[in-house]
Amino acid sequence: MAVCVAVIGKDNSPLYIGGIGNDSGSDNELSRQWLVHTALDALEERLTTTGNGAAGANANAARTDMRDLYLGLLYSTDTHKIYGYVTNTRIKLVLVTHSTSPSGSNIRDAEVRAALRRLHALYADAVCNPFHLPGDPINSQKFDKQVKNLMLNNV
Amino acid sequence: MRSSVSYILSHAPGESVMSHPDYAQHAQHHACLLVLVKGIGGMLKNFNKLWERIQKVNNIKVTDSSGQVRDIWVRYVRDYPVENNDWGDFQTHRRLLGLITLSKFTNQVELNEVCRVHESLKVKYSNTLYDSRAFMFGPVSNMKKPEQEPETYSYEEEKVSKEGSSLGDKYSLPSEQADSLSSSESFPRSTSSSASFPVQEENFTTPSNFKTHAMFYGENDPVPDLEQNVADLINSLFWVVESKRLERSREKLEKVSLLLAPFEKKDFVGLDMESRNNKKRCMGRVTKNLADLTLQSGLVAESLSLYHNSAEILKSVNDWLWLAAAKEGLCAASAILLYPNLRNPTPLQRNASLQESSPNKTKPLSLFQPNIDPFRKYKATSSPLRSSKNSSPINPPSELTPSSSDSIETSSRQSETDNADSESIASSSDIEYQSQKSFYVSDHSSIPRQPPSQINNQYLLNGEEIAEKYRKAIIHYSKYQNAGIIETEACFKAARIAVEQNNSLHASSFLQNVIFINLTLSEQEKIQRFDTLAELYKEIGFLRKAAFCQRLAATRQVSPNNPNPDWQRCYYLMLHSFPGHRLSLDPNYVIQHQVGWPALQIQLLQELVVAARRMGHPALATRHMTFLLQTMWPHLSRQEHRDLAIQLQALSAQCEGGPVPLVLETGEVIPPANLTHVPHCSWFSPRPLPPPRAPTLVKCKTQTGPFIFTPIHFGSLERKTKKDEGRMEYLWVEDDICEVQMKLTNPLPFELKVSNMRLLTSGVVFESIPETIILPPDSPTTVNLHGTPKEVGELQILGYSTHTLGVKSNCRLKNMPMPNKFPASFTIEVIPSLPTITIETTVAPSGSVSMSSLENIGSTTNISLHNGESTECTMKITNTSNVPIEYLDIAIQSNMDSQLQSKVFQFSNEEIQAQLPIPPNETATVVMKLYGEADFLDLGGVGGENLFPNSLTSNYPSRVGSPVPNAQTSLPTQSSNPQTSLSSGLMVNRTSGSFRSTNSHTTSWSAPISVMPPSRGRQIETQVLIRYSGGAGKELHCRQSSLQINLELLPSVSITHWDVLPAEIPTQLYLVLDVTNLTSEEMEFHYAPSKHILIESKESCRVPVPLDRCPFSATPPKQLDDDTIDSKSTTTGTSTNSLELMCSEHITNNIDLRWHLQHSGIGGRASVRGITLSQAMMDIVRMSPLNWEVSVNKRVIAPQQELTCAAGECVSLGVCVRNHLPRALRRLCLSVQLYQDYNNGALSYRLDNRVAAAGNNKVVLPTLAESAKAYHECTVVFLTPGEYKIDIQCSTTEPVLEDTAILKETDHQSLIQPCAGEVSHVWRFIPPVAISVTD
């Protein structure tokens, strides 16, 4: 079950942070922001190293294009797991889940991957709005609603 | 990384759990000898210096018995918990082998105490300690070594046993070293021989139980042999370790006892120690122990195989704890070989033990110099291997530009080359390192380094394998709860290796693992854990993680669980987490680079404020709160604005915030934070001086071209204007109050008091006047700030300062928040001071208007004058400045044309100049005469058919013969074209004014008054411009004051009609005027020296003014020429005009009309300037060129003489004409005509049956020479009685029709012929001769 979803711009400033859950205790907005914020380090490091992984110089460009946008688990804490996803325009999508789902089953990687892909699609829809300036925080209500939906249903 | 089967072999928390993690451990410390350095007794002044010197001796080279050179490394710690010593069997580098004490004493008692402490320390670590040194610093320098007992060690039994068991080994040791071990009596020969211990003044003696090798110095001695002594200690330690190693290596594997980790002791109780499994376990553990010793004694390569072997053995028996230790050892040994620069001394940070880690130790924040990129710095201080990372892992704000794929590529390439080069870099750093170390090696023979072939050990792990092995080791460790500390340390060590490998992800995963290790730690140790985590995260560029850990550490510092909260450290931890939050201490930097997560930044800042406050540093709290409000303003809601502002007010009540940098105890500087949002400034501009005080150029700027305005703009050519944005066009004056206008808005929902607002300037000295304002919420308020420049030069206005919410702020324009883009500064030129004046005006005679103008702007004087009245206006100019007025110039601008103006206003410039200079506070008086100049002639109805509307004849029947053209046929005057003459005359009068006005640049009125209809009152607006200057700048600039004079001209008299009548005497004439009194009072009108008349209000009167006729001589001959010769030409307009002008001028000059209002006592003059005259009038006005002498019956008649005769009587009429012209007249036609005047305007010329005439009534004189006389006589008989008149006239004709024959022959010419149509001028005998004929 996703706890928080964040869209982060290429200058690492937050574009959108959406979370569900009560706003008390450790689950509040601020702690979610801390989680996502600290995940950025690992995310960026991951980005630079995946770029490095390509062996040949000429294959490099092709690899960057083709590379999987999904970065996998960035890090985990006692309570949460943080997954990352980077679009080709360096917009970072971060998804935070509880480390153990209430049902006890572990969250599968493929589910997260699918959720992040959907989130990417939602983001693309949101920025297609001609009145949206790229780099500005997203405050579309529709986007918010859809993201909340995504968090509740799919993961 | 955690083992899935956690704690399988673990027990409940054991008694001997190692509970003090050493977070500072590195992998290379596995190969180090551990030495405790302790200061005891009084605090040594130079302890830190000595400590540093000792730390530098961390590597010595010893030649062993086989001639091989051993590299021995030492790790110095300042504190070491005994419990950790217990793990010495598990990992030998945890054993404390040596002890160095640095102690200070001043007397015997203290010396005893120091010795006691030293001994007790020895006892404390007695299990492991091999050797010790005591450096004693006494009160005097060069102390003699006191008497001392030989040193003994408590581990003697061990030594004895060792000596006993391995005597043979001992013999292989160099004798010198053996000596040093057995007896320290002769101990350091080098020291005792080299260092001299002079005689001691006071004899201190060490207590008998003090058996340490001690060195004595004065407290301030340089201690030259410190390094030597330490090296000796290490030397001795090495030999012990070496002996231990040899001893271990020769043990029979079958017989070895089981080595135990402290918590394992209970595990093996009752187990069958003889089982094969246990045997192997023992073997494996001993091998591992041997490997540790081998590594410590400098044989790294050999240790590799030992570690490997032990790992193999231990793996087979599932001894995971020791297997993990073996693997870790293998990793450590490999890392030491692969990354020799890990061992390079970077002293304080690598080798400093954790216990002394205080805030002082931490790196200074680079944030305080915002020009250096703060997020970049952390990578800079790293080993050459890591230097390439500078570009890749984090995107510093400057690199946030979209070069995504590019940067990846380049960084990837870089790291590739790095990997390739690592070998060569390592070797090069080796060389460097050797040269550094040469000092310590100098004692020993210089030996080549280990041959490179040794590196190609089969067991040597490469970088990837090290990480992998470490990972496994940590997983194994994690199975034992009691090994938590070991695991934690292993994580840190692995992370440090990963850092060295430039593999941030590995490092971060190792660090992440630390979090999961569940340790029962003291709060302090937890904090240290986070601190170290933060430190390492910083090293791999994970600034956010580091910041997160620092913040956690900070909150731990003050958590309720913490028995003694330390707000200060909390504060510093928070402060140092700034870079991770993309915050800088400089508010401007933060505002300009709006990156980071506002929500988190706000949270951090709020916590920081609390920490600062609780720390007891209210100034800091105020500063940070200001910073929070200033930088996070756009991200805060209105409610938050309000709350924070109120909090800030509360904080600043304790300590006021000021725009000065705060310096922390650590030397960090907190730059000032200025509130530019509260109040918000939306408009800022310096104002020019108000017009009366504004300086103007004394000389007008010469125009550069004929064009004042051009609509064409060349955008590309207008770079100049861009360049000096903020440069003002106007000038300010020294010592004069200047003004800056700004518009402020209070964004807070309560009333805001802003006090002490001043201007911030640079350049010349400027005295700003503080201003206090109270701003209501949300309504823009205009505020003016004042100040006085005190010097001449350029003044830059940089911004303004405020004091609001208890915080003083310097709001600089360049740092203003974005939406309003102000120039960085406004530059204004200040010129030398100029005088100021006040003007006081008094209107003298009437005294009715007296107006004092203090602030000489817009002062208005109202004066009303009747037309023709004159008065005096006195202007008192007072110099109110300290500068004398040396230049004064008065000019008048009005809505009149300049000619009229000069008549209305008259003043003497010389008089003004004579009063200069005007010293300060003195007054000069300027008298200005005012005259109610007006045109008294009422030309109201000019135009149309009525050619002479004002002439009396049109309305009044005249008593005198009038030239009214109602008998056109008989009036030759029509040829003189009166229409032309009149209209042209008027034209000149009318147009002259407006024409001049276009010339005059001083007049700014669009329609200047030039012709003033006398019947209505007029308003004249006049500005008296007073330009004055003085002081140093008088050559260039002056000031200009203007004085408004509203002059109201009231109508007095007007002349509505006029005519001229011949007087009784031919040399005189009467100007008959219809004078109207336009005032409301009775008026006395003087029109001749002795004649006056009273005119009632609004009444009109006709007055005859006697005048001399306009003398002929006054006319220039040229005009006469025109008059006579060219009289027929059509261009007579101008000539007639000039003639008329002459006549009218004559009249104007000779007439003296005065009026006097009886009641109010006002008097004035009137004039008939601009009077227009018809041709007929002019004939009267002018002296006739012909002198008439008319005689009746031979008697010359006098003017106005009544003549009578009887009907039938023969009257002889003689006419004598004399030419007064300076030349001859030609073809004169002299005619005598009789007529009857019915006195009703009708004239009858048909007198055929009433009069009989004898003789020619018309003669033509071909020429009349100058001054010549012509006489003609005829006889008239009146047949019937009645009133008769005789019109005698003389006309001249055009010479074109010259008919000399006729003229010559005929004296009796026909009446009409010669004259008809060609008459160009007629002179009449005025008045006509009147004869009354009686019966």
Give me the residues of chain B with pLDDT under 70, please: 1-19, 140-203, 253-254, 266-273, 342-457, 700-725, 818-820, 843-859, 938-1017, 1065-1066, 1111-1138, 1184-1185, 1199-1200, 1221-1223, 1293-1321
A6: chain B residues, CB-CB within 8 Å: none
Flag if B395 and A14 touch (Cβ within 8 Å): no
Is B845 in contact with B838 (CB distance < 8 Å)?
no
Q: Which of 518-547 (B) contact A at CB < 8 A?
A: 537, 540-545, 547
Test the B interface: residue of A37, A50, A86, A87 with most B CBs within 10 Å: A37
Nearest to A34 among B582, B595, B600 (CB): B600
Nearest to B505 among A45, A78, A89 (CB): A45
Predicted local confidence at residue B187, as pLDDT: 36
B547: chain A residues, CB-CB within 8 Å: 38
A44 at interface of B, judged by CB pairs closer than 8 A: yes
Q: Which of B1241, B651, B1307, B1259 is closest to B967 using CA atoms?
A: B1241
A77 at interface of B, judged by CB pairs closer than 8 A: yes
B595 at interface of A, judged by CB pairs closer than 8 A: yes
Flag if B393 and A57 touch (Cβ within 8 Å): no
CATH assignment at residue A148: 3.30.450.70
How close A15 comes to chain B (CA, Å)?
10
CA torsion, ordered B410, B413, B419, B422, to nearest 10 deg: -60
Domain range for A131 is 2-153
Predicted local confidence at residue B565, as pLDDT: 81
- Amino acid sitting at position B314: L
Query: Sorting pLDDT into bands at 50, 70 and 90, what band is A101?
Result: low
Flag if B543 and A41 touch (Cβ within 8 Å): yes
Name the β-bridge partners of B1088.
Answer: B1091
Predicted local confidence at residue B898, as pLDDT: 75
A46 at interface of B, judged by CB pairs closer than 8 A: yes
Predicted local confidence at residue B1199, as pLDDT: 66
B541: chain A residues, CB-CB within 8 Å: 41, 45
- Gap between the Cα atoms of B1076 and B1057, Å rounded: 10
A58 at interface of B, judged by CB pairs closer than 8 A: no
The domains of chain B, with CATH numbers, are 27-341+438-500 (no CATH), 521-670 (1.25.40), 680-701+721-831 (2.60.40.10), 837-924+1025-1041 (no CATH), 952-962+980-996+1052-1178 (2.60.40), 1184-1334 (2.60.40.10)
B540: chain A residues, CB-CB within 8 Å: 45
Is B123 in contact with B154 (CB distance < 8 Å)?
yes
**Is pLDDT larger for residue A26 or for residue B1324?**
B1324
- Amino acid sitting at position B504: S
Q: Please report which helix (H) or strand (E) contains residue B294, including its range.
A: helix B276-296
Test the A interface: residue of B2, B4, B409, B552 with most A CBs within 10 Å: B409
Is B1025 in contact with B890 (CB distance < 8 Å)?
yes
B604-636 pLDDT tens trace: 888 888 888 888 888 888 888 888 888 888 888
Q: How many domains does chain A have?
A: 1
Please, where are the H alpha helices in B1125-1224? 1132-1150, 1175-1181
Contact partners, residue B137, CB within 8 Å, separation at least 6: B44, B102, B103, B104, B105, B216, B217, B218, B219, B221
**What are the phi and psi torsion angles at B247 (to 5°)?**
-60, -45
ipTM for this prediction: 0.85
Compute the Cα dihedral for A111, A116, A120, A122 and give only its sign: positive
Flag if B408 and A48 touch (Cβ within 8 Å): yes
- Gap between the Cα atoms of B1278 and B18, Å rounded: 171
B597: chain A residues, CB-CB within 8 Å: 13-14, 33, 37
B950-975 pLDDT tens trace: 444 443 333 333 333 333 333 333 33
Q: Which of B607, B633, B382, B1114 is closest to B392 using CA atoms?
A: B382
CB pairs under 8 A between A and B: 101
Total length of chain B: 1335
DSSP single-letter state for residue B933 = -
Radius of gyration (C-alpha) of chain B in whole angstroms: 62
For B977, B1061, B1062, B1146, B1151, the CA distances from B1180, given in Å and listed in that order, are 17, 7, 6, 13, 16
CB count within 10 Å of CB B1068 equals: 14
Enter the tokens of residue A103.
Answer: 């049902």
Predicted local confidence at residue A154, as pLDDT: 59
Nearest to A51 among B409, B508, B603 (CB): B409
Q: Minimal Cα distance from B602: which residue of A?
A: A30
How close B354 comes to chain A (CA, Å)?
26
Is B775 in contact with B746 (CB distance < 8 Å)?
yes
Predicted local confidence at residue B356, as pLDDT: 38
- Gap between the Cα atoms of B1261 and B1304, Å rounded: 8
SS3 B715: helix
A47 at interface of B, judged by CB pairs closer than 8 A: yes
A53: chain B residues, CB-CB within 8 Å: 412
For A143, B402, B1098, the CA distances from A4, given in Å and listed in that order, are 14, 27, 101
How close A139 comes to chain B (CA, Å)?
14
- Gap between the Cα atoms of B689 and B735, Å rounded: 12
- Gap between the Cα atoms of B1065 and B1251, Å rounded: 29
Is B1291 in contact with B1231 (CB distance < 8 Å)?
yes
Radius of gyration (C-alpha) of chain A in whole angstroms: 16
- Gap between the Cα atoms of B1114 and B659, Å rounded: 89
